[in-house]
Structures are given as C-alpha cells and as structure tokens.
C-alpha cells in the first residue's frame, strides 16, 4: 500500500541552523511503500531450492513391535523411512507398551542400512549416537536412559531437547525390561 509522509532530508539540519546555502527546506515528501513478503526458503550454493523447516504438526513414523520378550530390544522407526533431524532441534518420542515397567531407551543410527549416511557407505546401522557436550574430554551417548518407567496401554511422551539436533539418520533402541512380554508402539514428533 503506497502512502506519502513528510521526512527530514539528509541536509535539512544545516538549513535550520541558519546556513542559507542549503538547497531545500526541512521537510520533503517521501513515498513509502509497505508490501507484505513471504519467506519460504532459499537457493543454496549448489543451486537447489531449500524450503524452511517447520515443526511437525502431528506424530508420525508409526512402528509396532509385537510380543517382545523381557530383556529383548527393538529398533524404531523401521520400514517407515529414515528419521532425519536435519533442521530440527528437539524431538518427542511417544511409546505405548502393553506391559508397564522399566524400558531402556538409546538413540542409534537409523536401522535402515541401505540408505547411506550422507555419502558414507555402508552406514553402521544401530550404532549408538555419540556427542561431545560442554567441552567434555570424552564423548557420551546422545540418549541413554537405562530405566524409564512407562505406563501400560497409554502413550508415554518423552521430550528430548537438543541432543539429537541435526542428526541426519537417527532411531531408537528400546529394551523391554518390564518383567514380561510386551508389544511396543512408537511414534515421533520433531520440533524446530
């Protein structure tokens, strides 16, 4: 929407100070245009269009592992694509076990071994993801919860903040330590 307003010229203060050689008066009319813009992304240095990452609006990457024995582990997500955290900083993992009790949860490289990690082949599927944090001398597991108490037959939602930020391929290893056989359902929601 175009509009006009009055504004000082760059040299108007000299005119007001009494210098008579100043070429214009203190105010001039300036046309001002206000236009809305929408920023949907950018073109990277390779010339590819990259849209802005936004938070997921619902849980996805559904997985269901049935009849998992006590002490046995599952990896998720499986057969639902690669869980990429590129552009995301936080993730919520929803776990619904049929048996309540303790479960060990570890962040791992995605279990789909056919997809390369960038250009590295073969990727080491199910290896524990490690990070360095706060100038530590040694790396540590990105997520390594040895005994998370989960309630049976409800979605237990766990928030993981910052520790998996920009991981290209990640998944989770969940070990049933509940004391009995359990079916484990999982879903994920990524946040920027």
3-class secondary structure per residue, the chain = CEEEEEEECCCHHHHHCCCCCCCCCCEEEEEEECCCCCCCEEECCCCCEEECCCCCCCCEEEEEEEEECCCCEEEECCCCCCECCCCCCEEEEEEEECCCEEEEEEEECCCCCCCCECCECCCCCCCECEECCCCCCCCEECCEEEEEEECCCCCEEEEEECCCCCCCCEEEEEEEECCCCEEEEEEEEEEC
Nearest to 108, CA basis, from 130, 81, 131: 130
Strand-pairing partners, residue 107, are 172
User: What residue spans in the chain does CATH classification 2.60.120.380 cover?
Assistant: 55-191
Residue 95's DSSP bridge partners are 156, 186
pLDDT for residue 186:
94
What percent of the chain clears pLDDT 70, i.e. is strictly above it? Answer: 78
Beta-carbon contacts of 63 under 8 Å, excluding residues fewer than 6 positions away, are: 76, 77, 78, 79, 80, 185, 186, 187
Q: What pTM, to 2 d.p., does this model score?
A: 0.72
**pLDDT in single tens digits along all 192 residues of the chain:** 556 666 655 555 555 555 555 555 556 666 777 778 888 888 889 988 888 888 999 999 898 999 999 999 998 887 555 788 888 999 999 999 999 999 999 998 875 556 667 777 777 777 888 888 777 677 878 888 888 999 999 999 999 998 889 888 888 999 999 999 999 999 999 999
Write the pLDDT tens digit of every residue in 122-172: 777 778 888 887 776 778 788 888 889 999 999 999 999 988 898 888 889
For 55-191, the fitting CATH number among 3.30.70.1450, 2.60.120.380, 1.10.240.10, 3.30.530.20 is 2.60.120.380
């Amino acid at each position: 929407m175009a509009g006009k307003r009055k504004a000082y010229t760059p040299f108007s203060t000299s005119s007001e100070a009494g210098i008579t050689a100043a070429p214009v008066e203190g105010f001039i009319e300036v046309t001002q245009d206000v236009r809305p813009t929408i920023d949907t992304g950018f073109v990277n240095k390779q010339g590819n269009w990259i849209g802005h990452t936004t938070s997921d609006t619902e849980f996805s990457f559904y997985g269901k592992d049935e009849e998992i024995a006590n002490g046995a582990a599952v990896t998720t997500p499986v057969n639902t694509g690669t869980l990429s955290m590129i552009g995301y900083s936080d993730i919520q993992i929803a776990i619904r076990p049929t048996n309540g009790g303790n479960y060990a949860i570890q962040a791992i490289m995605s279990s789909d071994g056919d997809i390369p990690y960038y250009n590295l082949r073969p990727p080491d599927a199910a290896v524990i993801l490690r990070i360095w944090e706060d100038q530590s001398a040694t790396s540590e597991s990105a997520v390594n919860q040895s005994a998370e108490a989960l309630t049976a037959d409800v979605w237990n939602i766990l928030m993981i903040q910052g520790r998996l930020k920009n991981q290209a391929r990640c998944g989770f290893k969940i070990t049933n330590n509940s004391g009995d056989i359990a079916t484990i359902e999982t879903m994920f929601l990524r946040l920027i």
